[in-house]
A = this chain, B = another copy of it.
Amino acid sequence: MSQSYRVAILGATGAVGTELLQLLEARKFPISELTLLASERSAGEVRSFRGEELTVEAVSPEKFDAVDIVLASAGGSTSKEWAPIAVKAGAVVVDNSSAFRMDPQVPLVVPEVNPDAVEAHGGVIANPNCTTILMSVAVWPLHQKQPIQRIVASTYQSASGAGARAMEEVKQQARAILQGQVPPTEIFPYPLAFNLFPHNSDLNDQGYCAEEMKMVQETGKIFAASDLRISATCVRVPVLRAHSEAINLEFEQPFDADEAREILKSSPGVKLVEDWQANYFPMPMDASGRDEVLVGRIRQDISHPNGLELWLSGDQIRKGAALNAVQIAELLVERNLLKASAPALAL
Contacts and interface: CB of A to CB of B under 8 A. Distances in A.
Contacts of A231: 248, 301-304, 307, 309
Interface string A154-180: 101000000000000011001100100
Given A237-B237, A302-B229, A284 B196 contact: yes
Contacts of A198: 279, 281, 297, 311
B229 A303 contact: yes
B190 A233 contact: no
Query: How many chain copies does the complex carry?
Result: 2
B257 A246 contact: no
Contacts of A302: 206, 208, 216, 229-231
A279 B195 contact: no
Contact of A233 (B174, B206, B311): B311
A233 B276 CA distance: 15
Contacts of A329: none
Contacts of A299: 206-208
Nearest to A245: B154
Contact of A298 (B193, B194, B207, B216): B207
Contacts of A191: 285
A206 B239 contact: no
Contact of A206 (B209, B284, B300): B300
A235 interface: yes
How many A residues touch the partner, as a band? 35 or more
Given A150-B303, A178-B175, A302-B206, A156 B237 contact: yes
A54 interface: no
A283 interface: yes
Given A156-B156, A283-B190, A276 B207 contact: yes
Interface in A136-167: 150-152, 154, 156
Contacts of A257: 207
A197 interface: yes
A344 to B, nearest CB: 35
A196 B297 contact: no
Contacts of A225: none
B300 A239 contact: no
| 8 closest A-B pairs by CB | A207-B299, A154-B154, A229-B303, A231-B303, A233-B246, A154-B246, A195-B285, A197-B283
29 contacts: A150-B303, A152-B152, A154-B246, A156-B196, A156-B237, A174-B193, A175-B178, A178-B178, A190-B283, A194-B239, A194-B285, A195-B284, A195-B285, A196-B239, A206-B299, A206-B300, A207-B257, A207-B297, A208-B299, A229-B302, A230-B302, A230-B303, A231-B302, A231-B304, A231-B309, A233-B309, A237-B237, A237-B238, A238-B239
Interface of A: 150-152, 154, 156, 170-171, 174-175, 178, 189-191, 193-198, 200, 202-203, 206-209, 216, 229-231, 233, 235, 237-240, 244, 246, 248, 257, 276, 279, 281, 283-285, 297-304, 307, 309, 311
Given A194-B238, A194-B285, A195-B284, 15 more contacts: A150-B303, A152-B303, A174-B178, A191-B285, A194-B284, A196-B244, A197-B281, A198-B279, A198-B311, A203-B279, A216-B302, A229-B302, A229-B304, A231-B248, A233-B297
